[in-house]
Amino acid sequence: MFELSVGDVLTTNCVKLDGTHVTAISGTTDTSVESIVSSTTGSVVYGGIDTSGYIMLDTVKPVAGPVMKVVAQNTLPNGEWAVKLAVVKA
């Protein structure tokens, strides 16, 4: 495990959306996560840590814990869809 610091940037597909664990499987994309990220163009999509330790994506800024912002849609080295997150509060 590592400690997050303001300014850190990470790319991951291990996120939650609306309480459901979401990850790309077998190189396919998860349209629900892609939808929230694409449909909020011009808006901010935040990432915060939920009680299970996953990163929860939401358009509402987390009130406790680290705060991340989605800065881009991305792909992992194996081609799976992912999001790039920047830490704005550690």
86 within 8 A of 5, measured Cβ to Cβ: no
Rounded Cα–Cα distance for residues 70 and 52 (Å): 20
Rounded Cα–Cα distance for residues 5 and 47 (Å): 14
- Asked whether residue 15 is assigned to any structural domain, the reply reads yes
Give the number of domains in the chain.
Answer: 1
- Asked whether residue 17 is assigned to any structural domain, the reply reads yes
Tens-place pLDDT, residues 22-42: 543 333 445 556 666 665 556
- Asked whether residue 2 is assigned to any structural domain, the reply reads no
For residue 68, what pLDDT is reported?
94
For residue 13, what pLDDT is reported?
83
- Asked whether residue 23 is assigned to any structural domain, the reply reads yes
- Asked whether residue 37 is assigned to any structural domain, the reply reads yes
For residue 27, what pLDDT is reported?
38
- Asked whether residue 29 is assigned to any structural domain, the reply reads yes
- Asked whether residue 28 is assigned to any structural domain, the reply reads yes
Containing structural domain, residue 18? 9-89
Rounded Cα–Cα distance for residues 78 and 66 (Å): 27
- Asked whether residue 20 is assigned to any structural domain, the reply reads yes
pLDDT (tens place) for every residue of the chain, 90 residues total:
578 999 999 998 888 766 555 543 333 445 556 666 665 556 778 888 888 788 888 778 888 899 999 888 888 898 887 889 999 999
